[in-house]
Amino acid sequence: MNAPLPTAQLRQQLYADMSPLHLTPLWEVLHALVPPRPATPCVPALWKYDEVRPFLMRAGEVITAEEAVRRVLILENPALRGQSAVTQSLYAGLQLILPGEVAPAHRHTQSALRFIVEGRGAYTAVDGERTTMQPGDFIITPSWTWHDHGSEADGPVVWLDGLDIPMIRFLDAGFAENSADKSQRVTRAEGTSFARYGHNMVPVRHEPPFGATSPIFSYPYERSREALAQLERSEAPDPWDGHKLRYVNPLTGGWTMPTIGTFMQRLPAGFNGRGWRQTDGAVYSVVEGQGVVVIESGEKTWRYAFGPRDHFVVPSWHTARLASSAGCVLFSYSDRPVHQALGIHREERLS
């Protein structure tokens, strides 16, 4: 008589025998599927503009905006190489447009934001209206709207693109279309959308032009900067965030885009912030000034000194602390609207 097989061997035999039927045992993966706390594969990362800019300019020498369609260097999370992702749900890239160039009109279901990093005088057109880009402006390209970019500036213009590409890919909901026209026809004067929606007033009779997305497509830095400077003069900073504001859709008071939340904050000189962690992973673009971010997860610590035009990413459930001796302004975006819509957003503020 053969001795009975040991349990471990019986189990392995079961797994092997059922595998051809595409069956696999849950109990081998259960704790990884429902971890006690978020276990993101993403890691923190910093892109120093001084190091990135020469490669952007080299890209400008080897390919035109029209050939490339969009001449962008993707900021890839070091732990997600090849996935065009800065976090599991978000994309980030730096786009260059040179004088006289056009990035041709197209549309897609992915939503995009532009945050202007360097240069002035390029434009982006959305749904028949152009807006001129200035450093620090936050511009929206709503899902499925025609958009093209062009430049009549006299030097390079660079902006940060933030898109929900990985999220839309995960949902298998991506569609795209190229326009027959290289540049779309302008049908409204520049500033029309801001006049309609940008002054705490909205048209009496209207349909939201972009569904759940904000009808304002450019939030000028001049305004955001002044708001934060005024708050710095009039009240104490929040111990975690400094003076931090959330961009809003004026029709709803909600997020500017259904998938991406956007923020701008000012850390006063001498700010030494407390730590926090939250489930939404965030990408930061440094607008002005200098500072330091310290990020921690488990035993690991990352310490990044940042200055103007640098970019960094704080992944889900990593503890972060911000400090600035000279003061600074930071723009950021994250997938928080989705966490909140699903009722799964969590935040912890450490004392």
Q: Report the C-alpha gap between 110 and 141 in whole angstroms.
A: 9
Rg (CA), the chain: 23
Q: Report the C-alpha gap between 123 and 273 in whole angstroms.
A: 37
* Number of residues in contact with ligand 1HN under rule CB under 6 A: 11
Q: Is 112 in the site for ligand 1HN (CB under 6 A)?
A: yes
Q: Which of residues 140-179 bind ligand 1HN (CB under 6 A)?
A: 147, 149, 161, 163, 165
Structure-block tokens of residue 210: 């972009």
Rule CB under 6 A: choose which of 38, 43, 59, 70 binds ligand 1HN: 70
Rule CB under 6 A: choose which of 40, 47, 75, 93 binds ligand 1HN: 93
Q: Is 125 in the site for ligand 1HN (CB under 6 A)?
A: no
Q: Which is nearer to ligand 1HN, 161 or 241 (CB)?
A: 161
Burial of 60-91, coded b for 16+ CB within 10 Å and e otherwise, reads beeeebeebeebbbebbbeebeebbbbbbbbb
Q: Which is nearer to ligand 1HN, 125 or 293 (CB)?
A: 125
Q: Which is nearer to ligand 1HN, 60 or 291 (CB)?
A: 60
Q: Which is nearer to ligand 1HN, 23 or 69 (CB)?
A: 69
Q: Which is nearer to ligand 1HN, 134 or 179 (CB)?
A: 179
Structure-block tokens of residue 290: 């200098």
Q: Is 345 in the site for ligand 1HN (CB under 6 A)?
A: no
Q: Which residues bind ligand 1HN (CB under 6 A)?
A: 70, 72, 93, 95, 103, 112, 147, 149, 161, 163, 165
